Structure 1
């Protein structure tokens, strides 16, 4: 019966990852619309879900070890679901575990893509903010004298709208 418990845990993990995927979508909108307070709230929700996923992963490892011991194997905390499917002899249990694994992997791939997109959006947002600030106040290194012969060829920064040296 331990395999069914592992399948149930993996299905719960799939549900949590689907919630994380929904939060990732909401985070994308918050980043695009510069809603920092909403983004903070989403990150807090995300942290709670990630903590729960971690707890479930520990429980999955425990149940896998329990199954291994029940079948006469030594417990192995590094055993993967794929390894476990090779050990299972009952076709129904094996199929249920493979399906749970496939569902989880599908959601994980979608979540990975969404998080990568959010990371890129955040980087672009920060780069735009940095660029805007440099336009407004000018670069800090302009306040230091440089010998004109030692400056890099072909590139000179324009001062921003405000003269920060005044």
Structure 2
């Protein structure tokens, strides 16, 4: 459980760095961080598999013949040593808090990315709307559909 918590803390640190990277529009660093996150997620899968095996062994040791995937709180009810129970519940609380913090960070990052995409979409729409203005036309053949001297950028401003 402690190793799982360490990985959650690493993911949280990575998410905080990723937030800054998204703000700074550093695509190369964002790619590196996403690769790191994928590695950490694979480690979580590996730890979860080990936890399931350990859980099964613990339940058999207690004389419980069940393949249920119990929560930490349910397991704590089966632990009678007060120190072990306390440690188990503390790590549960830390995992829950780190999970919530990670969720908040990811929601912020998602909002930043959505805002960035909206800005890109807005910028593209501005360029596309003025696309006809950017195409050269001989002034003698210019149709009256477009007003004369329409510029994408106002040079007198």
Which 5+ residue runs of structure 1 have no aligned equivalent?
Answer: 1-9, 138-159
Residue in structure 1 matching 2:34, options 43, 46, 49? 43
Task: Return the alpha-carbon distance in structure 2 between the equivalents of residues 38 and 108 of structure 1.
Answer: 24
1:11 aligns with 2:2: yes
Alignment RMSD, CA only? Answer: 1.6
| Counterpart position of 2:90 | 99
How big is each residue's C-alpha offset from its partner over 1:73-108, in whole Å with a ceiling of 9 and x where there is no partner? 013242111110111122111111111111111111
| Counterpart position of 1:7 | none
- Give the TM-score normalised by structure 2: 0.81
Larger Rg: 2
| Counterpart position of 1:65 | 56
Task: Return the alpha-carbon distance in structure 2 between the equivalents of residues 120 and 112 of structure 1.
Answer: 12
Which 5+ residue runs of structure 2 have no aligned equivalent?
Answer: 136-157
1:162 aligns with 2:131: yes
What's the offset of the Cα at 1:58? 1.4
Three-state SS of the structure 2 residue aligned to 1:18 is: helix
1:115 aligns with 2:106: yes
Three-state SS of the structure 2 residue aligned to 1:89 is: coil
- Give the TM-score normalised by structure 1: 0.77
1:22 aligns with 2:13: yes
Report the number of matched residues.
135
